[in-house]
Structure 1
């Protein structure tokens, strides 16, 4: 500290800012203010005092009303489904609530009549509306293959995993997807699950596609047949399956144990949960730890691995071939 007779040096910026401080300037607001104690600071040549206000690292600005990106996170209570297979399956599903049915005028009378027959089985049922194809294009998107028909529906009610497990009979097969995010893949897996008689499909609430028109179109009606459970904690969902008597078999290309060999060692009545991971990253470590066994599908070594939807189809067929999936209502 200086003595009473010493002059106090004015505050100055000592050279350029260090690299770390230069980076932090993106998160800083600089404000210049006069010396609060002496009104004649400028007359003495003292520079303005520099005050730096920073936002704590890791903090985020609070969302404001009308912020676009955050408002998009809340799904609409209704969605538009399109495509003839998808629409027919939705009209035959008693769990679906139908609000509107649009039929392209160019689609012909046969489509309108077939939809009207399905609608007569529902009470109450909307009256089909004849529209120009361009109107439906604008509604669902010009790139969507709607085949001249679109319906506005409520989202399906969320099924309960514990209840599905209690209803599972001997040899039941379920499908679990660990962060498979492509709606086309999930739709194709749902289609295979319906074809080979899987009882239900479980996937995380996050890092998974929602109930969208593109997923429903890729599933080609299977979304109305196979219940889809969205688990807040995927590892916990696998724990519920294991506690309910399911054997969780994780598909892992590098595993020396094949799916066929693992199933052959099991009791024929043992329910199986087939667990598949995302393409590239595969199963997460926590998911592997919650599987009873890691199994593979033998393929040629120079082919690497199968697409996740192709792997699910092969695995579900193998389980069906061995007498699994008794919930199936017909041959694929």
Structure 2
């Protein structure tokens, strides 16, 4: 016989009375809730994120071991801060101390974030003041040779030329204000410290600068693969201004017109022209052989 279910006052099935749970009560499983793991402490040797100076016209950023080392040794710039990994700081410790600086230790990743992933910083970066602007009249004729760059725009080329110029004790490097790379970053790295030893002169009008060099007694020799004579046979004398044309376009018309002569490099192989930085090195070597170092 089917039994009727007990009914409550609303006409629904009657339910057992609910017992009130004590305040703060919670059900416990066999082991209770898992404890929250403690937060790991930061390792005591970890340095805080470095605070770099922002980019500006008043700050030159140099990176790479040789570029920074030569800047420290030469002491021609006002230097602000040097950031280095522990290994790089140890290698440069004598130069850093002599310059009156204290290395700010950073991780290599910090420098890569500041300079960009493509920068080969070798664990060191220097923030310094750019060199003061110079004029043609400021050239000190020690070796009696200057290089003039006619709108060479690749920073790797200009850096390599500056490095070669320092190796041959060139008195100055003359280049245009426009259509020329900044003297920092990639260029300074490619120069491997050459910027610290060769005065750089920026000019607004290259043709006018060449006329000024003529007034100071310079023989102006343009270098071009279509030159009328070879650099080996050309009549050379000091003081000498050797003029190099831009990548792909060579010497511009006004530049060529302000040369006393245009010479070429005779190459024995099937390729008759060289990259401008390589041509510069060959030309300076020939000049040194002909006129003496």
TM-score bracket for this pair, using the shorter chain length: 0.7 to 0.9
Q: CA deviation at 1:302?
A: 3.6
1: CA distance, partners of 2:125 / 2:289: 37
Over residues 25-75 of structure 1, what are the superposed CA-to-partner deviations in whole Å (9 max), with x where a residue is unaligned? Answer: xxxxxxxxxxxxxxxxxxxxxxxxxxxxxxxxxxxxxxxxxxxxxxxxx95
Is the aligned partner of 1:140 residue 2:115?
yes
2: CA distance, partners of 1:317 / 1:179: 23
Q: CA deviation at 1:94?
A: 2.3
Q: CA deviation at 1:202?
A: 0.3
TM-score (ref. length: structure 2):
0.77
Over residues 91-148 of structure 1, what are the superposed CA-to-partner deviations in whole Å (9 max), with x where a residue is unaligned? Answer: 112221111111113xx2xx424423213323xx331111111111111111111111
In 2 relative to 1, CA 102–180 (structure 1 residues): closer, same or farther, beyond 3 Å? same
TM-score (ref. length: structure 1):
0.68
Q: CA deviation at 1:246?
A: 0.6
In structure 1, runs of 5+ residues without a counterpart are 1-73, 326-332
| Residue in structure 2 matching 1:156, options 111, 117, 131 | 131
2: CA distance, partners of 1:138 / 1:158: 31
| Residue in structure 1 matching 2:245, options 267, 277, 287 | 277
| 8 Å CA contact 2:162, 2:198 repeated in 1 | yes
Question: Which residue pairs with 2:63 in the alignment?
Answer: 82
| Residue in structure 2 matching 1:251, options 223, 231, 238 | 223
| Residue in structure 1 matching 2:256, options 269, 283, 288 | 288
Secondary structure in structure 2 of the residue aligned to 1:177 = strand
| 8 Å CA contact 1:95, 1:157 repeated in 2 | no
2: CA distance, partners of 1:266 / 1:212: 33
| 8 Å CA contact 2:153, 2:247 repeated in 1 | no
Q: Which has the larger radius of gyration?
A: 2
Question: Which residue pairs with 2:96 in the alignment?
Answer: 119
Bigger fraction of residues in helix? 1
Question: Which residue pairs with 2:80 in the alignment?
Answer: 99
| 8 Å CA contact 1:183, 1:209 repeated in 2 | yes
| 8 Å CA contact 1:172, 1:324 repeated in 2 | no
1: CA distance, partners of 2:186 / 2:153: 13
Question: Which residue pairs with 2:44 in the alignment?
Answer: none
Is the aligned partner of 1:315 residue 2:277?
no
1: CA distance, partners of 2:253 / 2:57: 34
Over residues 7-28 of structure 1, what are the superposed CA-to-partner deviations in whole Å (9 max), with x where a residue is unaligned? Answer: xxxxxxxxxxxxxxxxxxxxxx
Q: Indicate the RMSD between aligned Cα atoms, in angstroms.
A: 1.7
In structure 2, runs of 5+ residues without a counterpart are 1-54
Over residues 227-247 of structure 1, what are the superposed CA-to-partner deviations in whole Å (9 max), with x where a residue is unaligned? Answer: 111111111111111111110
Is the aligned partner of 1:195 residue 2:177?
no
Question: Which residue pairs with 1:231 in the alignment?
Answer: 203
2: CA distance, partners of 1:188 / 1:282: 18
| 8 Å CA contact 1:178, 1:287 repeated in 2 | yes
